[in-house]
Structure 1
Amino acid sequence: MKLKAATVEALQATDKRQEIPDDLCTGLYLVVQPTGKKSWQVRYRHGGVHRRMTLASFPTLTLAAARVRAREVMAAASEGRDPAEEVKAAKAPKPEDDRDKIKTLIGQYHKRHLKGLKSGDVVRRELDRFVVAAWGERDIHRITKRDVIDLLDGIADSGRVVTANRVRAYLNKFLNWAVERDILPLSPATGVKPVAKEASRDRVLTDDEIRWFWAACEAEGFPWGPLGKVLLLTGQRLNEAAQITEGEIRGDLWHLTAERTKNGRAHDVPLTETVRAVLAGVERIEGKAGLIFTTTGKTPVSGFFKARAHLADTMAAIAEKERGEPVEIPRWTFHDLRRTAATGMARLGIPVRVTEAVLNHVSGTGGGIVAVYQRHDYADEKRQALEAWARFVLSLVEGKAENVVRLQHA
């Protein structure tokens, strides 16, 4: 059939699909659907196989334009090419450039911003743990506000509301950094509120829980068992204890430089005989860093959330075996061990200022003018306090707490 523009326009639909060849252009067909929709199709052979390729609909593509395109397709086929596959490949999504992937940008964020911060390594670890784990291969431009909300809700739903709020803060700063560097026009975290209001924590382990915790540490072994004991006996911060090195131990003293402490104040922790025994029992793994709590010799232990959960499960099992029935132990965190130590020293009559010195805490009685002008380091008092606390913990473990003599207020 010799197709003309007027003929194509006038053709009516029937109850069957119509394929009308164009006599003036080999391989070109006008397809008329029962719905009345018209389109152009070209047929050719490639590798001995008949191929069909839809060009476009009519009148988007006119008869004259369809003939030109059909001849181009036939010419390409005569050269051994497959035009249909070429079009398909051109339309296929291109592999994403690593430049704008979340994992790449967080690496740059660490290099250009976090690396200079004291808390930079902690922030990077949390971003890797939650953000990179979920979105690492995604293009930052495809992250939406709903993605941010879903990520935070997922963390909170696992029982880590405080962690969700921390990740929100870290993620918000990262995305704002991306805006500042013209990577994003607007942060998708804008307007995302904290997952929940954080209640002030006051969790302190009971005497029974201290005893069960110690037994769980005994059962757990390296690294969490010894680390848990050190945290309970010294009252120091989790990261500071987890990153302790051989070089920081000077006889019966643990020296933390200003760079190693949260508040930027150098700190000496007297090591009681019990703590020294715990550390001496840790089998060393050689490494340049001299880390004590390490499984690689290169980096300190990590995975605190799972470790705490495992210790808590062991505590519950020990308590159930002792009581002969399930015991509900309220959730605790590693930081609660620090609060437990502080509360325990208060129970023993140790002055608040000495307890704050043990914890390297600068608020409360150690703040303001006192912090500026009072240079007494409480070395002897700290040692006495920690020794008294260690005796008390061991008395609980051995079932002799009633024999512990309370210290008198100075």
Structure 2
Amino acid sequence: MPLTDIAIRNAKPREKAYKLGDALGLFLLVKPTGGKLWRVKYRIHGKEKALAVGTYPTVGLAEARRRRDNARQLVSDGRDPSIEKRREKMRAELATATTFTAIAEEYCAKRKRDGVKAWAPATANRSEYLLSLLRGSIGTMPIGDIEPIDVLTAVRRIEKKGQLESARRTLQLAGAVFRYAVATARISSDPTRDLRGALTTPTVTHYGAIIEPERVGELLRAINGYEGQPLTKLAMLLAPHVFVRPGELRHADWSEFDFDSALWRIPAAKTKMRKDHMVPLSRQSLAILKDANALTGPTGFVFPSIRSRRRPMSDNTINAGLRRLGYASDEMTAHGFRAMASTLLNESGKWHPDAIERALAHGDSDRIRAAYHRGAHWKERVEMAQWWSDYLDEMRGEGAPKSAFKRQ
């Protein structure tokens, strides 16, 4: 006799599990714990088997019968419902493992350990953040199901917020993830390849930088009078002397400094070009570092966060210090100390352009040439580092010395 909803609801647990039969192999297994499980009995290839098709009341009687009928159809087609169920589970797990977000995380993990091409920590953090903006749109979709319109709609949400550069960069990163998926045989083509030109091109803005000697002197005097956090002041004092990238300064560790040799060795993992960068230290730089060492040495970050010495100074700390001194973002930034040094060192006419480029840690695509210049210009770089610090001291006085620009 077929089951009814009333009979199922009234079925009480017993000391041992028992069955309530319906029809065509469907039955309800009532467990001693009170659980009620749907099963379908079937025979295939001469063997009798039972297929789990759900739990009551999540799966009601009508739905259990529909699943039973599907299982019977599979048997009629010569397929084992239990095997098909396992395959469906594996397909679902594979689909989850091949969502855009899953592939993006795999791609980012690869890029962070990609040898000499590995992302710097700051690049990795920025890239992971931008890709996370796609989680609410295409993130949960199987990567093979994503079409160009899906990606375009997702990045235009970012664009509509006025974040034009973020939208552009997110589209680029999404394309890199899709190309990685192509390379690893998850999809056959990159759906972003035809989206070039679809987004509004952001206006290129350069880092604010002061490059006029008189104004450089004003800035240096302002930094000298800074009354905020001592470490922030020390970081701002050191930045113009060493003119490294802001992230390299923030992540500087005491283990990288050799005071006896007046040398700062920035390991490849922290540099944009993924190569070790040697920074000769002037007497002024060493004096500032020794003041910092009294506060944060002898181990760990030179400029740690005020909240935890296990983390570096925030990437906005120096910029915030400059704002406190009255300099707007289009006037001066932490990155602007590099433009300042590059401009004034080149204008001085005293130093070989390659020595300046090497000091700025700009890349050289020719490895042989790069190796030659690293050695050939080291002595000049040491001399240039001291000259530059001396010149900063002069500019900090009551006006820029014109003799500094006398060409040799």
- For residue 174 of structure 1, what is the amino acid of its counterpart? V
Q: How far apart are the structure 2 equivalents of 1:185 and 1:210?
A: 58
Q: Equivalent pairs: percent with the same residue?
A: 15
Deviations 1:307-365 (A, max 9, x none): 466346434xx25xxxxxxxx652665433311211122344433424224223456xx
Residue 282 of structure 2 is aligned to residue 277 of structure 1:
no
Secondary structure at the aligned position of 1:269 is classed as: strand
- Whether the aligned pair in 2 keeps the contact of 1:257 and 1:267 (CA below 8 Å) is yes
Residues 286 and 135 of structure 1, relative CA distance in 2, 3 Å threshold? farther
Q: Counterparts in 2 of 1:7-406, with a 5 A limit? A: 46=9, 85-87=58-60, 99-100=97-98, 104-122=102-120, 123-132=123-132, 134-135=134-135, 138-141=139-142, 145=148, 148-149=151-152, 152-153=155-156, 161-162=164-165, 164-184=167-187, 186-193=189-196, 195=199, 196=201, 199=204, 201=206, 204-207=209-212, 208=215, 211-212=218-219, 215=222, 218-219=226-227, 221=229, 225-251=233-259, 252-256=262-266, 261-263=271-273, 266-282=276-292, 283-284=295-296, 290-295=300-305, 300-301=312-313, 304=315, 306-307=316-317, 310-311=320-321, 313-315=323-325, 318=326, 330=330, 334-353=334-353, 354-361=355-362, 377-396=376-395, 398=396, 400-403=398-401, 405-406=403-404
1:46–1:80 CA contact under 8 A, matched in 2? no
CA deviations over 1:221-247 (Å, ceiling 9, x no partner)? 376554444333222233433333223
Quick one: which amino acid aligns to residue 284 of structure 1?
Answer: T
How far is 1:157 from its partner? 6.6
Q: CA deviation at 1:141?
A: 1.8
Q: What is the aligned partner in structure 1 of residue 14 from structure 2?
A: none
Which residue does the alignment assign to 2:81? none
Structure 1 residues 226, 156: closer, same or farther in 2, change over 3 A?
Answer: farther
Following TM superposition, by how much is the alpha carbon of 1:115 offset from its aligned partner in structure 2, in angstroms? 0.9
Stretches of structure 1 lacking an aligned partner (at least 5 in a row): 1-24, 28-41, 49-66, 320-327
Secondary structure of the corresponding residue to residue 254 of structure 1: strand
Check conservation: 1:272, 1:390, Cα contact below 8 A.
yes
Give the number of the structure with larger relative contact order, counting CA–CA contacts within 8 Å between residues 6 or more apart: 2
For the residue of structure 2 that corresponds to 1:401, the secondary structure is coil
User: 1:206-235 CA deviation, whole Å, 9 max, x = no partner?
Assistant: 554774587479455376554444333222
Distance 1:248 1:189, change over 3 A: same
Deviation, 1:275, is: 2.4
DSSP 3-state at the match of 1:231: helix
Distance 1:243 1:274 in 2: 20
Q: Structure 2 counterpart of 1:121, which letter? A: W
TM-score (norm 2): 0.59
The letter for the 1-side match of 2:361 is N
> Residue 358 of structure 1 contacts residue 382 of structure 1 at CA under 8 Å; is this kept in 2?
yes
Supply the AA of the counterpart residue of 2:229. G
Tell me how many residue pairs correspond in the alignment. 332
Question: Which stretch of structure 1 is more off in the superposition, 347-356 or 373-382?
Answer: 373-382
Question: What amino acid sits opposite 1:382 in the alignment?
Answer: R
Counterpart residue type for residue 172 of structure 1: G
CA RMSD across the alignment: 5.0
Shift of 1:130: 2.0
Q: Mind listing any 5+ residue stretches in structure 2 that lack a counterpart? A: 12-21, 37-54, 68-88
Cα gap change, 1:206/1:118 in structure 2, threshold over 3 Å: closer, same or farther? same
CA separation of 1:139 and 1:245: change in aligned 2, threshold 3 A: same
Contact 1:73 1:83 in 2 (8 A): no
Displacement after TM superposition at 1:155 (Å)? 5.6
Is the 1:233–1:390 Cα contact (8 Å) retained in structure 2? yes
Residue 198 of structure 1 and its aligned partner are, at CA, apart by 6.5
Contact 1:152 1:167 in 2 (8 A): yes
Amino acid paired to 1:340: M
Partner Cα separation in structure 2 for residue 228 and residue 112 of structure 1:
35
Q: 1:387 to 1:152 in 2, by over 3 A?
A: farther
Q: Distance in 2 between matches of 1:163 and 1:99?
A: 27
TM-score by length of 1: 0.59
Alpha-carbon spacing, 1:339–1:272, altered in 2? closer, same or farther (3 Å): same
TM-aligned CA deviation for residue 86 of structure 1: 2.1
